[in-house]
Structure 1
């Protein structure tokens, strides 16, 4: 692999015609793995290709079609994980580290594929919330919608997760319909390139949807504008430099950052030695210190524990490290913690530890000496050509030392800090200036509530760890694609992942105003006041191929009697006084006397609109947004109007979902109830 890492631009692999490359070394042996060189790379051409070819290809697909491609891609990569694992070992990653990066990234693709088909329409426009009625007669409405950004999503990634870091940004952008340009960090670019090579070679991706820059691209943002967005992961200093770029400040480029984070883990005062919470806490602390050799933006940097048990925490952490952690080449049998990504990174981490010591921190576990490591051939000894480091735990006797809350050693390093009260623990956590994640290990609900209320605004994610979830928890340091990954302040202010929220991050929310008919035409969803088709066959006789938005049925009136109400009360057991006691019902400020059960009315409405014979409608699978508005008294009558509101074919099945707008009126044309009926309907009759 010790050749120039190619870039993937405009659906072709590209390497420079000349120029010296920057060597990239194996983290464990110091051998040259590859070189990085992008001299003469056509960045404007790549951006233009994404905005034209990529946009057109992705725009030709619906959300569901793109979601299925994500699943197909995940399955393809899943079958080639071992190839990526072998390459990943060169970065210093153990098989466990590689699983977090590679399998975690593939899992993101699966998750977004599933959520995209469940939570998004099979179209290219998302209706956001209910309409706003802007005129008395309902002829003028406002509706928020989401449409995809017309530019390119540029991701600038850190070295620690070259696969997961790429796929966590790629998946929501692709699902939204926005093409991606990936700019990985140079020390591990060869692993990102291997993953992109697989993705490009799979034949699954639409043209122009993914491009790769395998080296420095300092002028990348120079060529972006308000149509585009940048997702950055790395140091706060680099993020601030990029955020101050004129095209971001003045040109409207959307920029999000995920940066330095001195994440805290608080041990509750109830979680004393011998409790499941104490054991879970120690396990989490050691895991976060040693997975990826501590090179995780979510690692625990500050262990905030009761001052009375600081020594017990240090002893327990030390015992677990001595029992569980073997430092060495990931390709050696039994190694559980690999190297840092490079010797430069090792020197950087050691320098930060020395700053922490100079500020008052005491190294209570490990040292900065070259560790004894297990080499790939099974022998042991020091390996100065590698980037190995011992796990280091510091203790700050003075909990308020600024360095403990501002200096991050991005490696297998954490600091133990004591507190006296829960309120003090909350204040210490907040001194991090904004973090990605915090844990509180407690089985006391009052402690959990106090801590979360105090720290939530300082964090993007919080974990409550106790005996009930310790075995099932995904852990302090494992972001999941369903939930927000990001954080305020020092953590960068971004919100990567977060399920469909991150898809909307790649879309523009726009207010559209117009008549119900025009909004129906634009969004593909029927709005009250738009034309209905009441003249054709009963809409339940129409398959998805025949059904159209606005197809409707209107029922005749049906009278509701006191006997009907009494029979329903007796048969269901719902003898609430409003349905059975005239005097008590009349005393209720909402009712004129005995009234019909709301569920009686909904049940009768189904009988009024249903077409009972077998046909394309396969099943009723629920109601949504049910509201009872006007009570119905004995002697009143009801009628129902059912209108096809939204049609969502399933790409992989021979049926789809139809959402029907249901309105129940009384004999005075007053609205009694509104709701949506959900049915499964065959695609063909």
Structure 2
């Protein structure tokens, strides 16, 4: 137990018992220790049975010490390279996946079915895998990210700039919502840790047991340095008072709570980035020319978003817009599907929808439905009394029926555009024309996502242009992509998750964008030599080194960044052009038609661009067996000047960057990727082509 002097006992089982020895207390993990308190406790109840299952309290925990511990110990992760961080994340994901059944068991207490829990559990682990792969694929094996190419700022090219991103010297505080206690944490800490920044996670009280179990296993795994991940089970108390100019805060939850947190004076004082992802009244739109197949797709999507996780998704469809002439047809189809929903204990095979996260949440949804019913008529569900619950007591559990409302006059409505009932609730409404539809969608004042369900040949360009500014993501569904679509309510690691206005104005996920959010962008001005030194990547104009040994005869470890080969020359002949045309099948007039070429932009016949690339390879490649394994690819190819018959070309090959690759097979020879800067010039020293080639090269 933690006393007020900050003394703490390590809890072997990672849990303590409350004073009456009946309900366990979830410990926080702060400053390298599991610690808890018997004061200011909050009890959490089983969503199905209503029984008390655990308590939380972080009363007396030293938040200042936690922040300092993160910056002193957890900052070690900033000294790791991107690939080292990514590999650690992959190991964490594998470790957690092996223990997934424990998390599925805990998820039962939150009221969700196994299918619902899959999104949270394996969806969360999948996010770690996805981010690990993304970073290993797109970022170099360095500690800092060079964001752009050399920007010359002088005539002679001896002074210029680049932008670099470095890990912030602070901590990221992540405050999560109750609906996805595992995924909600992992989708935030993945880009944070990859950016080299330690995290302090504060889960919602409901569901905190699942978050705590995941953190416990991550700590036990030992794949992350001490202080890289800390956990608060309870309240944050004075945590924000100890944050400073290098720190970051993210929040997921209700807009009202987020706005209160955002107003903390510390954030304004130190310009602390505060990223908010708030619940919003997301939309689904059926286009006006919808056929029977499209209507069925629309109904399926709305139904799925209403019933998955009992409608407790920040992306769930709250407003469903249909053409006025199709309102009755869509309404009848939705009612038919919703009447077949079986609510109850998710452990029963016939149950298709479980409970909400808590009884408190149940009553909150009921209150919100009352408000919505002032604008719309309830056609299915909507009442806590008189609905059947399978295998559980409806009064003790947090059950709420799937509820559909219909608003026939949405232009005059108020609550349906402003109030979100965070449960299995949606409102169906008609629109008359495109402009009215766009106006109605905008009355949601900013949403995470909208779906447009269309016939395959419908042109939705105008609709997208009108509603895109109000959304973080648009999901366009039709028969051609329905089988492979990830669905309206599925945020993906590669795509932005967030939205404007009411949705919080923040951005989570979004691929490498999310990693950059936790890093500091700095413009570096100086010479090419300085840029090469800082970015570990050769910059045009920097010093280079020449050796009598051909660079293709050197192993990965022997090569030096800046090592250059100036090749022999080759004069391009008419025979070269004719032979390449016959070999490639490329008989474009600018290469083969003398009269056509004379009347063209070039004024005479020119060599194929790809012949120049091939001829360049012939000049710089060393043909004998050696450490170069294979050509790995080509980037940034540009043809700058035409090469005409009689022109002579020469190649400058410079070792630009080296990145060791991790071995997937222990039997495989160690190797790395070498990026070579290629410049092809003519007899006048003019640049005719420039590109990077990548080779796999054996290590010594």
TM-score in terms of structure 2 length: 0.94
Return the match for 2:155 from 136, 161, 164: 136
Say whether residues 1:625 and 2:640 are aligned partners: no
Deviation at 1:211, TM superposition (A): 0.2
Return the match for 1:224 from 217, 238, 243: 243
Deviation at 1:196, TM superposition (A): 0.9
- Aligned match of 2:304: 287
Return the match for 1:95 from 114, 117, 127: 114
| Secondary structure at the counterpart of residue 4 of structure 1 | strand
1:239-250 → structure 2 map (5 Å cutoff): 239-250=258-269
| Secondary structure at the counterpart of residue 189 of structure 2 | helix
Q: Decide whether the 8 Å contact of 2:283 with 2:441 is kept in 1.
A: yes
Return the match for 2:671 from 655, 658, 683: 655
Deviation at 1:504, TM superposition (A): 0.8
- Aligned match of 2:546: 534
Take 1:445 and 1:505, find their aligned partners in 2: how far apart are those partners?
A: 38
Of 388-397 and 624-633, more deviation after overlay is shown by 624-633
Return the match for 1:606 from 617, 628, 633: 617
The number of equivalent residue pairs is: 673
Q: Decide whether the 8 Å contact of 2:74 with 2:226 is kept in 1.
A: yes
Take 1:371 and 1:169, find their aligned partners in 2: how far apart are those partners?
A: 41
- Aligned match of 2:396: 385
Take 1:367 and 1:633, find their aligned partners in 2: how far apart are those partners?
A: 78
Deviation at 1:566, TM superposition (A): 2.6
Q: Decide whether the 8 Å contact of 2:78 with 2:195 is kept in 1.
A: no
- Aligned match of 1:582: 594
1:431-510 → structure 2 map (5 Å cutoff): 431-510=443-522
Tell me: CA distance 1:564–1:4, structure 2 relative to 1, closer, same or farther (3 Å).
same
- Aligned match of 1:665: 681
| Secondary structure at the counterpart of residue 186 of structure 1 | coil
Say whether residues 1:362 and 2:373 are aligned partners: no
Tell me how large the CA RMSD over aligned residues is: 1.5
- Aligned match of 1:636: 647
Return the match for 2:175 from 156, 165, 169: 156
Take 1:633 and 1:308, find their aligned partners in 2: how far apart are those partners?
A: 65
Return the match for 2:442 from 430, 433, 443: 430
| Secondary structure at the counterpart of residue 409 of structure 1 | coil
Take 1:473 and 1:397, find their aligned partners in 2: how far apart are those partners?
A: 30
- Aligned match of 1:615: 626
Take 1:551 and 1:566, find their aligned partners in 2: how far apart are those partners?
A: 35
Take 1:209 and 1:369, find their aligned partners in 2: how far apart are those partners?
A: 45
Take 2:95 and 2:653, find their aligned partners in 1: how far apart are those partners?
A: 44
Take 2:120 and 2:363, find their aligned partners in 1: how far apart are those partners?
A: 24
- Aligned match of 2:124: 105
Take 1:338 and 1:446, find their aligned partners in 2: how far apart are those partners?
A: 37
Structure 1 unaligned spans of 5+: none
Deviation at 1:371, TM superposition (A): 5.2
- Aligned match of 1:5: 26
Q: Decide whether the 8 Å contact of 1:371 with 1:389 is kept in 2.
A: no
Q: Decide whether the 8 Å contact of 2:456 with 2:479 is kept in 1.
A: no
1:134-283 → structure 2 map (5 Å cutoff): 134-272=153-291, 274-275=292-293, 277-283=294-300
Deviation at 1:588, TM superposition (A): 2.0
Q: Decide whether the 8 Å contact of 1:330 with 1:338 is kept in 2.
A: yes
- Aligned match of 2:536: 524
- Aligned match of 2:321: 304
| Secondary structure at the counterpart of residue 97 of structure 1 | helix
Deviation at 1:535, TM superposition (A): 2.1
Take 1:175 and 1:256, find their aligned partners in 2: how far apart are those partners?
A: 18
Take 2:84 and 2:591, find their aligned partners in 1: how far apart are those partners?
A: 49
Take 1:578 and 1:605, find their aligned partners in 2: how far apart are those partners?
A: 21
| Secondary structure at the counterpart of residue 129 of structure 1 | coil
Take 1:74 and 1:644, find their aligned partners in 2: how far apart are those partners?
A: 35
Take 1:335 and 1:494, find their aligned partners in 2: how far apart are those partners?
A: 36
- Aligned match of 1:79: 98
Return the match for 2:555 from 517, 530, 543: 543
Deviation at 1:465, TM superposition (A): 0.9
Take 1:20 and 1:184, find their aligned partners in 2: how far apart are those partners?
A: 17
Q: Decide whether the 8 Å contact of 2:369 with 2:382 is kept in 1.
A: no
Take 1:315 and 1:101, find their aligned partners in 2: how far apart are those partners?
A: 32
- Aligned match of 1:19: 39
Write the deviation string for residues 7-44 of structure 1: whole angstroms up to 9, x where unpaired.
Answer: 0112221112x424111111111110111111101111
Return the match for 1:595 from 587, 590, 606: 606
Deviation at 1:369, TM superposition (A): 2.6
Write the deviation string for residues 354-398 of structure 1: whole angstroms up to 9, x where unpaired.
Answer: 11112x2110111313354445xx4x6x52121111111111111
Tell me: CA distance 1:639–1:501, structure 2 relative to 1, closer, same or farther (3 Å).
same
Q: Decide whether the 8 Å contact of 1:329 with 1:373 is kept in 2.
A: no
- Aligned match of 2:75: 55
Take 1:385 and 1:38, find their aligned partners in 2: how far apart are those partners?
A: 28
Q: Decide whether the 8 Å contact of 2:141 with 2:660 is kept in 1.
A: yes
Take 1:572 and 1:287, find their aligned partners in 2: how far apart are those partners?
A: 52
Deviation at 1:294, TM superposition (A): 0.9
Structure 2 unaligned spans of 5+: 1-14, 16-22, 665-669
Tell me: CA distance 1:252–1:584, structure 2 relative to 1, closer, same or farther (3 Å).
same
Take 2:431 and 2:541, find their aligned partners in 1: how far apart are those partners?
A: 62
Tell me: CA distance 1:169–1:371, structure 2 relative to 1, closer, same or farther (3 Å).
farther
Q: Decide whether the 8 Å contact of 1:549 with 1:644 is kept in 2.
A: yes
Q: Decide whether the 8 Å contact of 1:148 with 1:177 is kept in 2.
A: yes
- Aligned match of 2:6: none
| Secondary structure at the counterpart of residue 141 of structure 2 | coil
| Secondary structure at the counterpart of residue 69 of structure 2 | helix
Take 1:185 and 1:240, find their aligned partners in 2: how far apart are those partners?
A: 17
| Secondary structure at the counterpart of residue 463 of structure 1 | strand
Write the deviation string for residues 214-271 of structure 1: whole angstroms up to 9, x where unpaired.
Answer: 0011422221112011110011111111212122223111110000210000011222
Say whether residues 1:319 and 2:336 are aligned partners: yes
Q: Decide whether the 8 Å contact of 1:65 with 1:651 is kept in 2.
A: no
Say whether residues 1:413 and 2:429 are aligned partners: no
